[in-house]
Structure 1
Amino acid sequence: MSAPVYDEGFLGRLEAGLRAALPRWGLSEAAELRLLTISENATFRASDPASGREVVIRVHRPGYHTRDEIESELAWLTALGAEDFVATLTPIPQTDGSLIADLDDDGTTRHAVAFGLLAGKEPDEGDDLARWYRELGAVNARLHAHARGWARPEGFVRKRWDYEAMLGNVRLWGDWRAGAGLDAQGLAVLERTSAVLRDILADYGTGEDRFGLVHADMRLANLLVDGDTLSVIDFDDCGFSWYLYDFAAAVSFSEHEPYIPQLQAAWVEGYRSVAPLSEADCAMLPIFVMLRRMLLTAWIASHAETPTAQALGEGYTHGTVALARAFLARYDADDTDAGRVAS
């Protein structure tokens, strides 16, 4: 398990550096700064009594995205906003017109980006989730169409979320083997599951019709509902992956819930209202859900200081093993279903 990043001292330095940078967005240094979330990044809300303005500022996690990667994310967001493909946050330029602020952290540079606010709240289980997943499917189809047709600017670079990056040797979010509470028996189950996933995904392939630029993190925390409008926020993990991985990300931390098949059916219905989706592709959705579940098990282990990881802990790892057992019963290489799904 890696050492915590967001300890009290680090957060204090971030806030001090951010306060000094507020005038770059036309805010006074007297603005109230409130930490909203710690996940991959630290997100603050700045409320300026002098101007009445409020913005959200994302300070990037050290050692994760390069400046070029952040600029590429913002280029896609700007294009989506200009073409009205999806309701989302738009980055706010600094007074010099640039979108990325460099903050000093005791001699080390940290990157920060400001965004406007969007109305709405995160959907929860009390809402009609199927309704919103139907809409999310349509949003995903539109995003995928945009990604396929958009002429990316020169120098565009984002991470590649393939098997190697998630569960293989690259491990962008850490190693699932470090999962909290994972015992030898569970380790063996997940090792086998990882191997089966590797083989199925290799058969499915990364052709242009199924692999491209995706949001990659449309979980409930990154959705806002306001009336009939569904907005998508936080493109920080956008990158190149299987298009269907967007559904798996959308059920993050809920993969074990009995209502997931209902949400999957709604998502597929919404997607097909905008673009075709074959039965063979639909049969791959549970594969990507298992892939995401193992990736999140690794993320929890490598981000132990975050509230999400602390809330889930060993229980999530044990749930991953239970899901993996069911997965292997259906998709193990000795089962002919695995070959059919990957075709």
Structure 2
Amino acid sequence: MYDDAFLIRLEGGLRSALPRWGLSEATELKLLTISENATFRAHDPTSGRDVVFRVHRPGYHSRAEIESELAWLTALGRDGVIATLTPVLQADGSLIADLDDGGTIRHAVAFGLLPGKEPAEGEDLPRWYRELGAINARLHAHAKNWQPPDGFVRKRWDYDAMLGEVQLWGDWRAGLGLDAEGRAVLERTAELLRDRLEEYGTGEERFGLVHADMRVANLLVEGDNLSVIDFDDCGFSWYLYDFAAAISFAEHEPYVPELQAAWIEGYRTVAPLSDEDCAILPVFIMLRRMLLTAWIASHSETPTAQAMGEDYTQGTVELARAFLATTDAAESERAAS
């Protein structure tokens, strides 16, 4: 899907829509990332304006879902909750443009540019995850009190959507390189996750509107400031799932416990977080890891999936073994007491 011809066609379609945002023909377009969607940076030398465009992958989010994402972003900016991208209106006052890609309609949206760069592993990540914890707490507080507009609709990231029957990102059983032994380990893990999540519940204090993808690639550091971008996957899920998403693709790294401790510390500077909440974080980490394993299998054409490949699946199995062993040990200790 993402060959040179496709990218040239995609850029051409976006270029034809530039006047809708008041950008000149001289505007320079640079591809930034491709994952679910394609993201471009635009610089108009005529006006000096800089804009970030997101061209949506067909069949993932409906227009109503995109409008709902932008409504929450607008509210967050208006209420001063966090630093994030601001949606940019077209000349006609609308936020979404439809691009005709050979008969396929792709939705495109624009955002103002934020300064900063992705925090690197060697740049004191615990410091930024402490700040991220505070950001998450403010975001969750806003979600609990905000009244969405009529027609607000976003995906529900519950167990069924991730590992159950709905499979929004594909089936983890199709994990690249997954053998019968690994599948048996993940089957047992999935069952345990389902049971733990049912026990934890989806009460309004635990489940609501979340960002759902605050991984390092969606963070921007500028001086002492941390910004969060890309609300494309925001939806309804457990609030603590935000931490699991924040360590996407790094769940196996030895520094994760330090990041978790920093995130909890930062969260508690804004809102309470019980010991029960902290204790279930490994469940959400394992849930996210299995979801990403499914995503890699169902999005194997993307650069991210190609970089991860079968090694990520095997790492998922190893993490699942450790997760099961820890759970079994805890159960044995409770039974003995």
Q: TM-score range by the shorter chain?
A: over 0.9
Distance across 2 between alignment mates of 1:223 and 1:260: 17
Shift of 1:6: 2.9
| Match of residue 306 from structure 2 | 310
| Match of residue 39 from structure 2 | 43
Shift of 1:29: 2.5
| Match of residue 134 from structure 1 | 130
For residue 157 of structure 1, give the secondary structure of its aligned residue in structure 2.
Answer: coil
Distance across 2 between alignment mates of 1:7 and 1:53: 29
Shift of 1:126: 1.0
Distance across 2 between alignment mates of 1:300 and 1:22: 32
Q: Could you tell me which of 194, 199, 216 is aligned with 2:195?
A: 199
Question: Matches of residues 166-205 of structure 1 in structure 2 within 5 Å?
Answer: 166-205=162-201
Distance across 2 between alignment mates of 1:332 and 1:62: 43
**Unpaired runs of at least 5, structure 2:** none
Q: 1:125 to 1:334 in 2, by over 3 A?
A: closer
Q: 1:23 to 1:322 in 2, by over 3 A?
A: same
Shift of 1:109: 1.3
More off after superposition, 264-273 vs 298-307? 298-307
For residue 41 of structure 2, give the secondary structure of its aligned residue in structure 1.
Answer: strand
Residue type at the aligned position of 2:35: S
Asked if 1:87 is matched to 2:83, the reply is yes
Asked if 1:76 is matched to 2:72, the reply is yes
Residue type at the aligned position of 2:12: A
Q: 1:201 to 1:327 in 2, by over 3 A?
A: same
| Match of residue 108 from structure 2 | 112
Residue type at the aligned position of 1:209: E
For residue 98 of structure 2, give the secondary structure of its aligned residue in structure 1.
Answer: strand
| Match of residue 63 from structure 1 | 59
Identity of aligned residues (%): 78
| Match of residue 23 from structure 1 | 19
Question: Matches of residues 1-343 of structure 1 in structure 2 within 5 Å?
Answer: 5-332=1-328, 335=331
Distance across 1 between alignment mates of 2:50 and 2:34: 19
Distance across 2 between alignment mates of 1:318 and 1:116: 39
Q: 1:87 to 1:334 in 2, by over 3 A?
A: closer
Using the size of structure 1 for normalisation, the TM-score is 0.95
Verify the 8 A CA contact 1:332 1:338 in the aligned structure 2: no
**Unpaired runs of at least 5, structure 1:** none
For residue 209 of structure 2, give the secondary structure of its aligned residue in structure 1.
Answer: strand
Shift of 1:44: 0.8
Q: How many residues align?
A: 335
Verify the 8 A CA contact 1:141 1:275 in the aligned structure 2: yes
Distance across 1 between alignment mates of 2:208 and 2:333: 26
Distance across 1 between alignment mates of 2:230 and 2:330: 40
Distance across 1 between alignment mates of 2:329 and 2:57: 39
Q: 1:331 to 1:112 in 2, by over 3 A?
A: same
For residue 304 of structure 1, give the secondary structure of its aligned residue in structure 2.
Answer: coil
- Please give the per-residue CA displacement for 1:184-219, whole angstroms capped at 9, x wherever unaligned: 111111111111101110111100010000000000
Using the size of structure 2 for normalisation, the TM-score is 0.97
Distance across 2 between alignment mates of 1:177 and 1:334: 27
Shift of 1:65: 0.2
More off after superposition, 329-338 vs 142-151? 329-338
Distance across 2 between alignment mates of 1:134 and 1:33: 35
Verify the 8 A CA contact 1:200 1:338 in the aligned structure 2: no
Verify the 8 A CA contact 1:220 1:250 in the aligned structure 2: yes
For residue 59 of structure 2, give the secondary structure of its aligned residue in structure 1.
Answer: coil
